Amino acid sequence: MAVLEIRQYPDPVLRQAAKSIENIDGNLQRLIDDMFETLYAAPGLGLAAPQVGESLRLFVYDLSIADEVKKRWPLVLINPEFVSKEGEVSEDEGCLSVPEYRESVRRAARVVVRGLDRDGKEITVEGEGLLAKLLQHEIDHLDGKLFIDRISSLKRNIYFRRLKKIMKAREKEG
């Protein structure tokens, strides 16, 4: 297994709609394993394939990290799609591809998602709270969206100005 590079905004792969996965083969299984290795190294709760430069409809997640449970509980969703969304909540959110920035984002309070597990079996995941937020956040990645697309234009402009300063500082460093 390998730790992959997590792409950061404004990398163009983060803005592309990911392709559906047709074959679950050894290459895909290696990518899934590498994505978990990357997720745990980051550390994060979820990681979508576009975040590691692969424009595929796949994400991995493990909420045991948030619960500080000692046993990992890695889960995979391939070609996920929403079955239903209910309610609305606004909560603080961040992203491995948008480092050092958090903001309140409005999302559905409860979601039902259907997709495939890593063995190609159809699964349905029902989520509320943190799981609902994670499912929506990762599916946004597969659709070429970032959480900063869901905040007000004023807050987004503040983020962009901050990002420009960071990028200029990095250029000076060399």
Helix (H, G, I), strand (E, B) or coil at 50: helix
- Token code pair at residue 49: 């394939």
Catalytic entry in 54, 93, 103, 138? 138
* Residue 170 DSSP SS3: helix
Check residue 91 and report its DSSP letter.
Answer: E
Task: With beta carbons less than 8 A apart as the criterion, state whether 126 and 147 touch.
Answer: no
138 is catalytic: yes
Indicate the helix (H) or strand (E) that contains 79: strand 75-86
Burial (0-12, 13-18, 19+ Cβ within 10 Å), 136: buried
Place of tokens 């997720």: 39
Q: Are 80 and 114 in contact (CB under 8 A)?
A: yes
Rounded-to-integer distance, Cα 39 and Cα 83, Å? 26
Length of the chain counted residue by residue: 174
Q: Which residues are tagged catalytic?
A: 138
